[in-house]
Chains A and B, each alone.
Chain A
Amino acid sequence: MNFEKDLAEFVIKISKAEYSEARFEEEESKIFILKNGNFEPSIEEKSKGLGIRIINNGASFVSISNLSKKKIRESVKRALKEAKLSSPILLSEEKANRASYKYVKDFASEKEIKDFLISLDKRISFPWIKSKIFILKNILTKKYFVNSDGSKIYSEIQRFYLEYNIVAKENSKIEQRNFVFGSSGSWKDFLSLKVEKKIEEEARIMKEILKARKNKKGKFDVIFAPELIGIIVHESCGHPLEADRILGREAAQAGESYAKINSIGLRIGSEKVTIVDDPTIKKSFGFYLFDDEGVKARRKFLIKEGVINEFLLNRETALVLKTKSNASARAMNYTREPIVRMSNTFMLPGDYKLEEMVEDIKKGILIKSFTEWNIDDIRWNEKYVGFESYEIENGEIKNFIRRPTIETTTQEIYSKIDACSKDLEFVAGVCGKGEPMQGVPVWMGGPYVRVRELRVK
């Protein structure tokens, strides 16, 4: 990597801008696709290049794959020119960091990965399963970040990502599950998620879900399992507390936010609700120790005991809000500018056991996993459709029910939470934001959470 480090540093040397940063990245992806027991072509992608961001009055970003010095000189010149055409911006002052870290550990052989997929396929070969698609990606990212403030950070992170799509059919009924698992570190870390057991269990119960009756409509106490609470906190806490959305920079794309710049201190939920974003969790899909502006990562308390406590900030938004960055700037790779992103967003556990939370419900629903969901562009009006879902009657979990649908608001969910379990589980996702689109790896999760009196459709 020495040669490429030199190229990133060359950018800083020749740029005469107020601020310059360069990311040299090399990413290798191996993609294995098993569709209904048949391997599609093996796919390998290798991507290497420089992302150059310059602030010279305004901001510019130039990304190149040709790494000749001539091309780099041309690109820096172009970036300097383009930056002058943008409106002025400033960045918060941050400590210059020098670091090098690797989170790779062992590699997986192709045979191990293929055998794993074949065994997954066999495990769910039930008569009612009519389509099985598995896509497993093994991604190794090597990155060298350098900026004109003096930061120099090298990192190597390996990630594994499994996306699967299962279709179950019986008589004329169809159920479909499309979901993902992901982790960073080693293949063993990925295997420790025990995804094969979870997927087998899902495929097994799809038979029951096909037979299940539609839930009764009305108001119910709802227990959301960690998978649900993960997507809820990601969509209705993490996204709306991204400071760039609050300040309008994403207005024409991912949208704006119900939160305003003066929303810090505003109560939005019950005292049981504390939601954090933390990139430093080992094994997590959203793992990093320094962000893509060179700032050291830390846990952020977005909502603390029901009150909005902190936004996700990069250096630009931190300066506007007269504070310091909390290391939330991420770029998908060297082809993208760093923007404000989540990492691993989750609700902190409480002190209940799941059984205690169920015992206290007369008429309720437990939703363990979901299919469809969506949310409006200020992150207020949201919908979740249950996949594995049960009715609760007089303190007992009873029958499967089919597709209970919750259509609610952020405040309604957070303010009606009265109990969180001691558990903490995560699911993975590739979060989309920015234009051009940037998909970044994240975890999301939490405990089992009880929400009183929600309208269920």
Chain B
Amino acid sequence: MIEKIARIFKNVDDWIIIYEKQKVKQIKFANSKIVINQFWDFEVLTLFLAKGKKTFLSSLTISSEKDANTFARNCLKKVKNVEENKNYFGIAEGKFNYRSPIYDKKVFEYDWNERIEKVLDDLKQKSAGTFWEGKIEREILTSKRINEKDINTFFNFSIRTFGKTSFHSAKYSTFGKNIEIEKIAEEAKHYSNLTDRKMNVKEKKYPILFLPLALSGILSYASLAFSALEVISGNSFLINKIGKEISSKNLTLIDDGTFRKFDDEGRPTKRTILIDNGILKSYLHNTSTSKQTNQKPTGNAGIVYPIPWEIEVKNGEYSFEEMLENIKEGLIVSNTWYTRFTSFVEGSFSSLARDAIFYVKNGKIEGIAKNVRINSNFLDFLKNIEAIEKRKEEVKWWESIIPVKTPAILIKNILVTRP
């Protein structure tokens, strides 16, 4: 089908055709029961056309091949009449080497329903969450003679369980075998029953040990500031900061696109170091933003908007216990939600701690805190990193826009406020 469409576009300067087949299953559970099984089966066509600086992007869910061809012809008519986009500087071009697709061949062959029911029965406490399993097949054909195919799979288990307090655990992986739902659920149950001693937290600055899930929401929102288009548009807290020290020296932050072969222009994805031992090294680029800024493309197209694929924090040197021992008076925050920026250009934000918030005194968990709001500026947040755990987890839950691979991180001087 996409070759036929390519013939329709023969007189267009630049074009990209992406054909995607998505099959996704979700098992949703609440009150310790499976409440719904859901399944999605889609074919989506994305077309990008450029005539000079006139650019047109469109997408269609495909109900039939005839529909797709008619749609492509209409797009061809439309590109002639759109406004010029001064920020357009072409699409990926060149001889690229691609990795083989990395995916789980056994996707949809596992019996997750039965396992989940058993896990929920065994937990014997109220639990809710979701299990996701998906396969995405993608083919790209462009006017620059790129023609590649890719297959991705993903598995995601997310469980919130209610013991003495609530605790949320989530794991994400390309491979089903890495999602040990029994172990994840048991871990969540364990931490949900550590203590029920209520502690009063004062409105002041604390060192906070953030668990991976707590960082996933904050880091995934903040990662949009690395998109070069946000920087060029004047809507990022990272404007004019390339080469500058923007975080604690012990932080190395990476965007890892290697779970997929190519971006939406067909350029191979890669691991891009965004922050290298505290120094901002790169934004996330498509072809147009890289040419505008004279920086190297990073394989992060989004044809219009360069996007992060998966944010990764490089492992640190500390064990969890060592980091805990370091806290004289502070908190362990296990999850956060509702991160909102007062200004994305300043980086000022607040986020609510959710689920278990452990109060720590002299390196020991003494009780549970409630109603904790974290207030910071993202750049201060990064500068105040004290210690990073030596092992990391790949997590994603409802609040995270993209998957995040991160260790637990100890950050000092976080202002905690309460109503």
Contact = CB atoms under 8 A, between A and B. Distances in A.
B97 interface: no
Interface string A118-155: 00000000000011010000000000000000000000
A40 B304 contact: yes
Interface stretch (A77-85, A270-278, A344-352): A77-85
B44 interface: yes
Contacts of A215: none
Contacts of A192: none
B171 interface: no
B229 to A, nearest CB: 8
B362 interface: no
B419 A175 contact: no
B235 A66 contact: no
Contacts of A408: 419
Interface stretch (A95-103, A195-203, A218-226, A366-374): A366-374
B130 A435 contact: yes
A305 interface: no
Interface stretch (A182-190, A246-254, A353-361): A246-254
Contacts of A382: 419
A431 interface: no
Nearest to B74: A44
A174 B48 CA distance: 36
B379 interface: no
Q: How large is the interface on A (under 10, 10 to 19, 20 to 34, 35 or more residues)?
A: 35 or more
A64 B63 CA distance: 9
B223 interface: no
Interface in A396-423: 403, 407-409, 412
Contact of A252 (B43, B61, B129): B129
Interface stretch (B30-38, B193-201, B275-283, B385-393): B30-38
A105 B203 CA distance: 54
Contacts of A178: 344
Contacts of A65: 41-44, 61-63
Interface stretch (B51-59, B261-269, B306-314, B404-412): B51-59
B185 to A, nearest CB: 12
Interface in B330-378: 337-346, 348-352, 354, 371, 373
A250 B398 CA distance: 11
Nearest to A48: B63
A21 B310 CA distance: 37
Contacts of A381: 352, 371, 373, 418-419
Interface residues of B, number: 78
A41 B235 contact: no
A54 to B, nearest CB: 10
A374 B63 contact: no
A35 B233 contact: yes
Contacts of A174: 343, 345-346
Contact of B338 (A78, A82, A337, A375): A375
Nearest to B168: A252
B294 interface: no
Contacts of A373: 340
Nearest to A52: B39
B338 A374 contact: yes
A194 interface: no
Given A381-B419, A435-B26, A131 B82 contact: no
A347 B38 CA distance: 36
A75 B39 CA distance: 9
Contacts of B27: 85
Interface in B121-137: 126, 128-130
B370 to A, nearest CB: 9
Contacts of B85: 38-41
Interface of A: 33, 35-36, 38-49, 58-68, 71, 75, 78-79, 82-83, 85-87, 89, 110, 114, 130-131, 133, 165, 167, 169, 174-176, 178, 247-255, 335, 337, 371-377, 381-383, 385, 403, 407-409, 412, 435-437, 457
18 contacts: A39-B84, A42-B83, A44-B56, A45-B60, A48-B61, A60-B37, A63-B38, A66-B43, A66-B64, A85-B27, A131-B235, A133-B235, A248-B31, A248-B128, A251-B31, A252-B129, A252-B159, A377-B354
Interface of B: 26-28, 30-31, 33-44, 48, 55-64, 67, 71, 75, 78, 81-88, 113, 126, 128-130, 158-160, 162, 168, 233-235, 303-304, 337-346, 348-352, 354, 371, 373, 397-398, 417-419
Given A38-B87, A61-B37, A457-B417, 8 more contacts: A39-B84, A41-B88, A46-B61, A64-B42, A85-B27, A247-B31, A253-B398, A383-B350
The 7 nearest A-B residue pairs measured at CB: A131-B234, A82-B37, A251-B128, A374-B338, A41-B55, A65-B61, A87-B33
